[in-house]
Structure 1
Amino acid sequence: MKTILPEIIHEDNHILAVNKPTGMLVQGDKTGDESILDAMKRFIKERDGKPGQVFLGLPHRLDRPVSGVLVLAKTSKALSRLAASFRDGGAEKIYWAAVEAPPDPPEGWLTDWLRKDEKTNTSHLVGAECRGAKEARLSYKLIGASKRYWLVELRLLTGRHHQIRAQMAGMGCPIKGDLKYGARRSNPGGGIHLHARRLVLPHPVREGSIFLTAPLPPDAVWQAFPQI
């Protein structure tokens, strides 16, 4: 069965940005399912008639259950510079989440310490003194509500493993469908309602910044928010 390609939201000689679908791998793993990286390499090879291997690199990642803006690098120079932007805080990352309880207060900052559990592939809030703990910071703002869920906009200030998922659960607002972090039930297909909505970062070669926005999945939960 042929993979459905993600929507391309920006492309130039150095960058390919796509709207990652919920449930699609970014990079291959032990499941053997085709990843966005492999699918887009094949697509570019066929579209452009390239005789050799297509170079695409991953300067950042999104979890499999998450949707939204994913940037791929088309050259090694772009890859190293984009990776540095993500690593050093040069990229502004804005997410939208549908959560099961309203945040209180409705706007603020979260600073926690997270430790990754390799056995369960989860991250947990711990004390700063705990071995392996890493500081996790984000800002959040309640921007909408439906009958059953609340729409929160989040800006990541650090990039820890499962950071948004763990910190929102820690304040009593688990993301819809995220059973690992306290949601009431799973979503069909195993995805969660966390979407990488916008990304602003310096272009790796040209002067200026790139502004990328990913449309929301065509999903009844997202569409139930009258504010979007």
Structure 2
Amino acid sequence: MKPYEEDNDIQDDELYEHYSFKAGKGQEPLRVDKFLMNFIENATRNKIQQAAKNGNIYVNGIVVKSNHRVKANDEVKVLFEHPPHEYLLTPENIPLDIVYEDDELLVVNKPAGMVVHPGHGNYSGTLINALIYHFENLPLNSNERPGLVHRIDKDTSGLLVVAKTEHALNHLSKQFFDKTSEREYIAIVWGNVDEDEGTVEGHIGRHPKNRLQMTVFPDGDQGKEAVTHYKVVERLGYVTVISCKLETGRTHQIRVHMKHIGHTLFNDERYGGEKILKGTTFTKYKQFVENCFKVLPRQALHAKTLGFEHPTTGKFLRFDSALPQDIVECIEKWRGYAQHVIDEE
């Protein structure tokens, strides 16, 4: 029996990249269906137009119709919800930072930059590739992914639990589905968050126009239920360090919920956090923020705490991971800047 197919943490909201092309500098405006005909072997105009009709063709990350004109330097991608034929799980000898392991499960501290499972054109170097190298016969979840109970984004660092047996996979998946597991994240967000603590509720689903993003549907007419509890850890002027506890685990949940309430994650490129969203127009301030982006070249999000009941012993286990150096350095920079502003005042 496949464990909890409706469980949001392992539900497949991913899109798989089948084709990716960049238009040359001298590209004259050309319909995207004709453009793709020049690149995709054995493609027919009808199939390409059908893909466009189904919302599978993207130019610069935005869904386009078949008559959209491709211009110089445009990035054209074809994404589907099913993997391409060459999608294979290949064992790779990639080191893992294992913080706990027994016969039933292991807890891994994933570095930022590592994809959890293949997709979006990342078919190697993932956590799954590493797991199947180091461990044999991992159980398959409802999406045929070995050992995965939940996941975190590529550029999010932190803790993940991996099941080594069918019993552990079912037991842990049920805990995530029943919302009895414990997950706390630390994030840096733009702006001074008004309340010391609060809850964001709002269904999350794929953005109707930019299919690489998720968005909030406040009326609940689309998407799936999502609940995030946040608490302010430290106020640093134009940014705030917060703690987020998840009730649900939707794709990009914290990133989407915080943007929804006006506090996009710092340097979250997909959701606009790589722009200077708060602060002054002074050149020195702009340079300071750019330096922070260099120190932390990804969204400021870390899966810090993970707790769950052990599937065999019944004991509640809780693991905590230190903030990675890039987030620590970024916080220290903002702390220094905030103090400097206070001293000037």
TM superposition score normalised by structure 1:
0.84
CA apart distance, 1:225: 7.3
* AA matched with 1:191: R
2:233 counterpart letter in structure 1: I
Per the TM alignment, residue 141 of structure 1 is displaced from its structure 2 partner at its CA by: 0.6
For residues 163-215 of structure 1, give each alpha carbon's deviation from its aligned partner in whole angstroms, at most 9, with x where no partner exists: 11011011111111112222134956963111111011111111211101122
Larger displacement relative to structure 2 (114-123 or 200-209): 114-123
Task: Report deviation, 1:115.
Answer: 2.3
Tell me which residue corresponds to 2:258.
Answer: 168
Residue 9 of structure 1 deviates from its aligned partner by 1.1
- Are the aligned partners of 1:144 and 1:225 in contact in 2 as well (CA < 8 Å)? no
Name the counterpart of 1:17.
107
1:1-228 → structure 2 map (5 Å cutoff): 5-29=95-119, 30-44=121-135, 53-55=136-138, 56-117=146-207, 120-130=211-221, 132-146=222-236, 149-185=239-275, 187=293, 191-219=298-326, 220-224=329-333
* Alpha-carbon contact 2:232-2:241 (below 8 Å) kept: yes
Count of aligned pairs between the two proteins: 216
Match for residue 49 of structure 1? none
Find the structure with the greater CA-based Rg: 2
Distance 1:215 1:54, change over 3 A: farther
Tell me the distance in 2 between the aligned counterparts of 1:177 and 1:139: 21
Amino acid in structure 2 at the alignment position of 1:211:
R
With 184-193 and 132-141 compared, the bigger mean Cα shift is at 184-193
Inter-partner Cα distance in structure 2 for 1:20 and 1:142: 25
1:4 shift after superposition: 5.3
| Structure that is richer in strand per residue | 1
Cα shift at 1:127: 3.3
**Cα 1:156/1:54, change in 2 over 3 Å:** same
Instruction: Give the Cα–Cα distance (whole angstroms) in 2 for the partners of residues 4 and 126 of structure 1.
Output: 39
- Paired AA for residue 10 in structure 1: Y
Q: Which runs of 5+ in 2 are unaligned?
A: 1-91, 139-145, 276-289, 336-345
Return the structure number with greater helix share: 2
Percent identity of the aligned residues?
Answer: 30
Deviation at 1:71, TM superposition (A): 0.9
TM-score (norm 2): 0.57
Aligned-pair CA distance for 1:126:
2.0
Change (3 A) 1:38 1:111: same
Q: Which structure would you say has the larger RCO, counting Cα contacts within 8 Å and 6 or more residues apart?
A: 1
> Judging changes above 3 Å, is the alpha-carbon distance between structure 1 residues 104 and 57 closer, same or farther for their aligned structure 2 residues?
same
Question: Is the contact made by 2:104 and 2:164 (CA closer than 8 Å) also made in structure 1?
Answer: yes
Q: Would the aligned equivalents of 1:146 and 1:224 in 2 still touch at CA under 8 Å? A: no
Q: Distance in 2 between matches of 1:18 and 1:225?
A: 29
- 5+ residue gaps, structure 1, are 45-52
Q: How far off is 1:222 after superposition?
A: 4.3
